[in-house]
Each structure stands twice: as C-alpha cells, then as structure tokens.
Amino acid sequence: MDICNKCEECTKLCEIVPKMAGVFKALGDLTRLRIIYLLTTDTTGTLGVSELATRLGISQPAVSQHLKTLKSEGIVDSRRNGFYIYYTINRDRMVEFRDNFELMYSSVMGRCNRELIRKSSPDQGFRACIIYYSYSGITRHIAEEIRNASGCDLIEVRTKKPYSSFSAYTTGVFRSRKMACDPIEPDTIDVSPYDLIVMGTPVWAWKPAPAMNAAVQALKGCEGKRVVVITTCSNQPGEALPILKESLTRRGAIVALEISLTSEDTKNPDAGGEILRRIIEAQPFGDTTKTLDSEEK
C-alpha cells in the first residue's frame, strides 16, 4: 500500500494496513479461531499439536499447518521442552493488533461521522465549535473525541488561577454550589461565526463548574444559536443541565440537546462518534421549531 504523505494519520494507516491484512487473513478461519481460544484459556502452557488435535477432533498435520499460519503472523509463540513443542498466545502481538484496529476503526468512523454531518446539514458552510472546561482531563478527552469525529473547532476555557487538587475540592466545590463565575481565559468567546455550539463541563457538587458558568457569560454573538450541553460526572449530573440550559436561554441561545455522560460512558472508545450521532438525531441544523432536547427524544 503506497503512502500518500497527505497527513500523519494517513501515513500511519498506510503503514499498519499491510500488517493488519495478514492478521485478518490468519484469523479468517474457524479452526484457527478455535486454536486461539484454546491457547487463550489454557493455564498450563503445555498445549502441543497432539493435545490440540485431540480437543479439536482433527489430524495432527492439520493442526500443525494452522499453527504455522498463526505463528507466521506472530499470533502464537512456541517453545521446545525436550521432544515436545508447546504453543502459547503472543500477547504483545495481540495488544499491537488491538491498538492498530482501534486506530483503523476511529479513522473510518471519523470519516463516516463527518459524512453524516455533511448530509445532515442543509448548508455546506455549516460550522460548529466545542467550548469546554476540564479539570481532571475527562471533559477534555470527550471534547477532543468529538472534534476528531466531526472536525469542528475546539475552544478550551481555562481558569486564570488554576485549581490545585486541594482547592478544587474545597474552594471550587463551594463556588460551584454558589453558582459563581471564575475568572477565565479567554474572557470573551465570539461564537458568531458558528451555527452550532457544543459546551462541555464537569459536574462539581451537582452543578456546573464555575469556569463554565463564566464561559456562558463570556459568549458573544450567541443569540439564536443552537447549543448542545454536555456534562461529565461520576454518576448523576444533579442540577447541572437545567442550570446551564436556563443560563444559555437567558443569553438568547437555543438549547437543542442535553447530554450527561457518566464515568462508564467516557470510557467508550467511540464516545465522540456516539455523541455526534445523538446530536445529528436531534436535528440541530434545521428550523428551531423542530429542535429536540433530551427529554423530548
């Protein structure tokens, strides 16, 4: 496969695709998959051709041929002990295969998601941005996943005085309960060029983080703009979503969708794609009378 040299992602994909092709071919046989299962579940490390043939109900030469194919792709390892040869799974190779597959999957899904946006948007000049605040990095991860899935702009909100691990759980939580606004950078966020705005925040004490309260007030040109609100939390978002919806509505924005993500949700490798599909299903691109929020879906 020729390397196109157009971007880092394409270059990486062109490097791994030939490697993946051989593995997929080796795995494309039921008997070989059964061998992998037996080796994976074996705890003795003493499975040889004879034992595998007995368990599979096939001849030893057939097992040897399948093992040769798997070994040629690095999927299994072998070790000799006297007259016997034992086979085990090459776990490092399987981890490499998993990582390469996830890269291919995210690349393909990213292109599919961008095509969904193109088809769903009546205006080819449609623009979107993600405005987020993140203390622990979880909300940042989700924002970047959405950006990767959609290609939209990313705007990070930062507190002018960063929280420490102690002050976040003392001063930060107290200010969150009071629905205070932290001094932030940038102090003005011009969203007038955008058709859709996604705002993401962690939940502190069942309310939005103070930096996100400030971000809502810092919006410029948000009147009539459609907004998707996303919260990240360990379990329940509490009052965070309705508070943000009310604040944005007072600024003249239209909240099209509210999404709450738990800790388990954020571990989804396709979290960005899943959120993007939910946004598209909510139809935030058309007439505001057709806009849905999460309760109407």
Enumerate long-range contacts of 31-37, CB under 8 Å, 24 or more apart: 31/56, 31/58, 31/62, 31/66, 32/66, 32/69, 32/70, 35/63, 35/66, 35/67, 35/70, 35/76, 36/70, 36/75, 36/76, 36/89
Walking along the chain (297 residues) 10 residues at a time, the average pLDDT comes out as 53 76 89 94 89 94 95 92 91 87 70 56 68 93 83 92 92 94 95 92 94 96 93 88 95 92 81 75 51 36
pTM check: above 0.75: no
Number of CB atoms found within 10 A of residue 71's CB: 15
What is the per-residue pLDDT for 47? 92
- State residue 212's pLDDT score: 96
What pLDDT was estimated at residue 31? 95
pLDDT at position 287, please?
A: 46
pLDDT, position 294:
36
The string of pLDDT tens digits covering residues 189-213 is 999 999 899 999 999 999 999 999 9
3-state secondary structure labels for all residues of the chain:
CCCCCCCHHHHHHHHHHHHHHHHHHHHCCHHHHHHHHHHHHCCCCCCCHHHHHHHHCCCHHHHHHHHHHHHHCCCEEEEEECCEEEEEECHHHHHHHHHHHHHHHHHHHHHHHHHHHHHHCCCCCCCEEEEEECCCCHHHHHHHHHHHHHCCEEEEEEECCCCCHHHHHHHHHHHHHCCCCCCEECCCEECCCCCEEEEEEEEECCEECHHHHHHHHHEECCCCCEEEEEEECCCCCCCHHHHHHHHHHHCCCEEEEEEEECHHHHCCCCHHHHHHHHHHHCCCCCCHHHCCCCCCC
Per-residue pLDDT, 140: 92
- pLDDT attached to residue 62: 96
- Distance between CA atoms of 159 and 166, rounded to whole angstroms? 15
